[in-house]
């Protein structure tokens, strides 16, 4: 393993003005997204949609890397270029989702543990050969009555750290993603408490598994009200509390914190990131690794219609540009109305 490479890749992924596109929806998840626009999920429709995203003109100014699903890493563009190479040729770093999904945790009703460690070393070697330079593993933490439990937090943290060690051995930057879900009517205080517990456990486990923190990226949720909470914290509160928590628990050696959108609207996700960056310099880059918040409008515009690809690409460019501006704290809602 070349630790210099890992650091360089991690830093490139959080280059100023840029962030990551999470386009690694598993086959069941992309089906859900396609169902929402009444498009059948087939090999061909998934390929066409991903090609739309990856060839969108100009997005390399705002997109540093793309997380792919196994199927997509092996697919090619219509002209025969493998997707990882197409991205790399544009200066966009290809990444790969390597976990095998969050499954019910035995003995802990309502909680999930992420699987995928068995055989991971061999899979990582193959992914690197196919062009991936970073990886993602998502752990899911649920807030509910008496949840999350410590056992669930510890089990997920341990798996994340084992995954991170295997990635660094293979020369891939691990994106470490402990996601405290927004689902529920909990308030922002409970989100903050659960997020703090999860992050403390994760960094403890990373330390024990001898992870080089300069060669990882952290992909957390923001400190935010539950989706069904009657009192929603405003943008400034979310930004201030999120940054405060990360200053408490996020080691300065980590090059970047790349937030997930987790069910926030596209505009809310951009506004939150913007408000955080407007608070001034922090020990780490504060960036995005959005799935839904980057793709929602694009998906709706496309609607499975080849005639709308160019229009959908403009919408994607516009969304990426807004998030690029949010990296500097320079986004304003007026940008939403400007032509791409």
Catalytic residue numbers read: 177, 219
Determine how β-strand 102-104 pairs with β-strand 112-114.
antiparallel
Distance between CA atoms of 159 and 151, rounded to whole angstroms? 12
Between 107 and 316, whose beta carbon lies closer to ligand 13P? Answer: 316
Which residues have C-beta within 8 Å of that of residue 257, sequence separation ≥ 6?
A: 217, 218, 219, 220, 246, 250, 284, 285, 286, 287
Distance between CA atoms of 58 and 88, rounded to whole angstroms? 14
Between 35 and 89, whose beta carbon lies closer to ligand 13P? Answer: 35
DSSP annotation string for 207-253: HHTT--GGG-EE----S---TT-SS---HHHHHHHHHHHHHHHS-TT
Q: How far is the CB of 97 from ligand 13P (least distance, A)?
A: 8
Q: How far is the CB of 247 from ligand 13P (least distance, A)?
A: 23
| Helix 292-302, helix 266-278: angle, nearest 10 | 150
Find the angle CA(28)-CA(273)-CA(135) to the nearest 5 degrees.
Answer: 45
Q: In 61-171, where does DSSP find H-type helix?
A: 70-73, 83-89, 120-129, 150-170
Q: How far is the CB of 262 from ligand 13P (least distance, A)?
A: 4
Residue 58 structure tokens: 């100009």
Q: How far is the CB of 16 from ligand 13P (least distance, A)?
A: 21
Between 9 and 266, whose beta carbon lies closer to ligand 13P? Answer: 266
Q: Please name which of 24, 4, 13 lies closest in space to residue 171, comparing C-alpha atoms.
A: 4
Q: Are 37 and 300 in contact (CB under 8 A)?
A: yes
**Distances, alpha carbon 192 to alpha carbons 222, 277, 297, 338, in Å:** 9, 19, 29, 35
Binding site for ligand 13P (CB under 6 A): 22, 138, 177, 260-262, 290-293
Which residues have C-beta within 8 Å of that of residue 330, sequence separation ≥ 6?
A: 274
Q: How far is the CB of 210 from ligand 13P (least distance, A)?
A: 25
Q: Are 308 and 278 in contact (CB under 8 A)?
A: no
Span between the terminal Cα atoms of the chain, in Å: 41
Between 107 and 164, whose beta carbon lies closer to ligand 13P? Answer: 164
Q: How far is the CB of 71 from ligand 13P (least distance, A)?
A: 16
Between 177 and 192, whose beta carbon lies closer to ligand 13P? Answer: 177
Between 100 and 210, whose beta carbon lies closer to ligand 13P? Answer: 100
């Amino acid at each position: 393993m070349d630790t210099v490479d890992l650091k360089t890749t991690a830093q490139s992924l959080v280059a100023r003005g840029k962030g990551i596109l999470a386009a690694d929806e598993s086959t069941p998840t992309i089906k859900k997204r396609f169902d929402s626009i009444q498009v059948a999920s087939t090999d061909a429709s998934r390929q066409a949609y991903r090609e739309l995203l990856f060839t969108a003109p100009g997005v390399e100014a705002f997109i540093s890397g793309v997380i792919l699903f196994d199927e997509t890493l092996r697919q090619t563009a219509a002209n025969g270029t493998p997707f990882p190479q197409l991205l790399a040729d544009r200066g966009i770093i290809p990444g790969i989702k390597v976990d095998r999904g969050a499954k019910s945790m035995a003995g802990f009703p309502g909680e999930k543990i992420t699987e995928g460690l068995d055989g991971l070393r061999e899979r990582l070697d193959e992914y690197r050969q196919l062009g991936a330079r970073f990886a993602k593993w998502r752990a899911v933490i649920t807030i509910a009555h008496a949840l999350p439990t410590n056992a669930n937090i510890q089990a997920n943290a341990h798996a994340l750290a084992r995954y991170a060690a295997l990635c660094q051995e293979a020369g891939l930057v691990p994106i470490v993603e402990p996601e405290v879900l927004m689902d529920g009517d909990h308030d922002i205080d409970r989100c903050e408490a659960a997020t703090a517990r999860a992050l403390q456990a994760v960094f403890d486990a990373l330390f024990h598994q001898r992870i080089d923190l300069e060669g990882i990226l952290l992909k957390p949720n923001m400190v935010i009200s539950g989706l069904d909470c009657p009192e929603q914290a405003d943008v400034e509160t979310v930004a201030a509390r999120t940054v405060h928590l990360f200053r408490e628990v996020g080691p300065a050696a980590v090059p970047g914190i790349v937030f997930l959108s987790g069910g926030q609207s596209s505009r809310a996700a951009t506004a939150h990131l913007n408000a955080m960056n407007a608070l001034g310099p922090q020990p780490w880059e504060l960036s995005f690794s959005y799935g839904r918040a980057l793709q929602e409008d694009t998906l709706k515009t496309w609607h499975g219609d080849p005639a709308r690809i160019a229009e959908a690409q403009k919408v994607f460019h516009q969304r990426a540009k807004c998030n690029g501006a949010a990296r500097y704290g320079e986004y304003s809602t007026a940008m939403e109305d400007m032509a791409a």
